[in-house]
Amino acid sequence: MNVRGAFLVVRAVLPGMIQRRRGTIVLTASTSGLVGEPGLAAYDASKAALVNLTRQLAAEYSPLGIRVNCVCPGRINTGFNDPVLASQSDAAVDAMVQSAVPMRRQGKAEEIAAAVAFLASGDASYVTGHALVVDGGLTAV
């Protein structure tokens, strides 16, 4: 669903962007698309596909004035992780995050939104085909 949904949305918006010869697309991938994680083959592969879809679309459509990028969030404090973390105490989750993330905390949804806003803005007018990692240093170690 990760790839199919993004592909269908891109397919729907591209004709108008091509006609106007401008546009910006920001997909949501994940740090899971950049590294392998035990037990997460399908998820990791789908997020990696989004990273490469970003690159392919940028290569094909940037000459038409359409920029395509993606964000790769790391551990973000949202309900998305609740089913996985439900069996752990808050203290155990905090300890796990502090040992894995150099910034020693989970990210906030607002921090991902700011990265998306940047990529969609004119401030990123020369950025295309990029996977912007927003992970508190998780993939740096």
- Structural domains in the chain (count): 1
46-89 pLDDT tens trace? 999 999 999 999 999 999 999 999 999 999 998 877 776 778 88
Mean pLDDT of 99-124: 97
Q: Is residue 7 included in any domain, yes or no?
A: no
The reply to whether 43 belongs to the active site is yes
Give the Cβ contact number of residue 110 at 10 Å: 9
Query: DSSP states of 97-137 as a string?
Result: HHHH-TTSS-B-HHHHHHHHHHHHSGGGTT--S-EEEESTT
Q: Is residue 134 included in any domain, yes or no?
A: yes
Question: Contact at 8 Å (CB) between 26 and 51?
Answer: no
Q: Is residue 12 included in any domain, yes or no?
A: no
90-103 pLDDT tens trace? 888 889 999 999 99
Q: Which of 43, 77, 93, 118 is catalytic?
A: 43
Mean pLDDT of 22-32: 98
Q: Is residue 2 included in any domain, yes or no?
A: no
Q: What is the pTM of this model?
A: 0.93
- Provide the domain limits for residue 129: 21-140
Indicate which CATH number applies to the domain containing 102: 3.40.50.720
Q: Percent of the chain having pLDDT more than 70?
A: 99
